Structure 1
Amino acid sequence: MVILSVNINKIALIRNSREGNNPDLVSYARNCIELGAQGITVHPRPDQRHIRADDIVPLAQLCSEFPNIEFNIEGNPNAESLGSYPGFLELVRIAKPHQVTLVPDSDDQLTSDHGFDLSGDNTALEQQIAFCKALGCRVSLFMDADIEQLQRVPSTGADRVEFYTGPFADAWNESEQAGKDSFALYAHCAEFAHSLGLGINAGHDLNLENMRLFKSLPELSEVSIGHALTIESLEQGLATTLQRYRALLADA
């Protein structure tokens, strides 16, 4: 079975568009869990345009109330303190999430759109991964479907990779054949990563339609879905949307 972790960034973005705390992130995350989500994902950025630093501890505490519910914090390990944002690694130290997903996004990016380039000196990244693992966190690296890059991951000390699936989603939208061709590349890369001893996660632009194919990715352990799930919930309701995802992933 593939774990569904719900990314609640978009819900935080809606909250931040008005004064106050509506929708309440903790209540929304609790609802997701009670409706069948097996994890909650957040991606706090220094500008705090969606998830804020003060959201992290309450969400971590919520997830700790439920057995086998994972709290996953995504972000750039190089993100430093800015105002009330204490820096990404400091948030990790405070919350000690079950999983840390390191992403090479810059402060001005609209969304994550590429994986790590490990072809250079990875000393700093290795130290950041060691820091997270010393806190008891599993560490996943956001990576492209690229064999040359994937073969460098084990030396960093990371436990898993999270495939950036934007290119697959684009190919799926282009045509059925293009989607199948793109999936074949991801499947090959997943098998290769697994042969290196790495766990496999995936996320970005996955939805109820393209997950019908992507759920069969070899050795897939977890998907993180937020943007599409939020839109689908507006159309179908949260309970129905989560039920459909769980049904899709139950036999994956």
Structure 2
Amino acid sequence: MLALLLQVLAGLLAWAVLPVVWRLTGWPLTGLALAGLQGGLAAVTGHLLGLPRWWLPISLLFMPAVVLGQQLDWPAWLPASMFALLLLANWNSLGERVPLYLSSAPAERALQQLLDQLPDDAAFIDLGSGLAGSLARLARANPQRQFHGVESAPLVFLLGWLRSLPLANCRVRYGSLWQVDLAPYALVYCFLSPAPMPRVWDKAQAEMGHGSLLVSNSFAIPGVAPTQRIELHDWRAGALLVWRMP
């Protein structure tokens, strides 16, 4: 929302500044020049206001890309469809501030090692299961266990649900992770973002049983030291943070 607001404010400022620049320099007053100025202003102000570094190229290039896209004379349904797909794939980013992250192969191996320490009937749930690739592979490797996932982004859920269908011990449901009872699960896994982790901890304390494991990929719980930290040595330099519930 901050990035969007900065684009609007930068656009208004660009409309006010560019005619002055044109009078002083004689530069052509084009739509692309206006978009470039707007993007530059949005990027600079976003950086000054503390937006993450990866927002800078997005802020800089967004409006020039819109102008160039209009010049390509695309049919109206194409950008609308692209926006709809992005929205369906990132729906939970709006309310939960949780983007789509995919677990790496080292993370799957570390999860398997944790499962090996639990009873054969120990159930596993992935909060925000995404495309369900890791969930399905773990389910296939552990047919004696039950594997569940929950996902709130519609398009991502559909793809994950289809992937889980051939497996008798794997199911993905559509909905919010906050509506899931964690009591039946011996291992609760999540790869979310820093934003929801304090609330995840409160939910885990209220619902998870004695000795069960809460596992977060990369994102810590503020003020709560993990029982175990498993370095993944993947391209993210990530780690599994494990809390054993008291």
Q: TM-score of the superposition, structure 2-length normalised?
A: 0.30
Pair member with larger Rg: 2
Q: Tell which has more relative contact order, 1 or 2 (C-alpha 8 A, sep 6+).
A: 1
Q: TM-score of the superposition, structure 1-length normalised?
A: 0.30
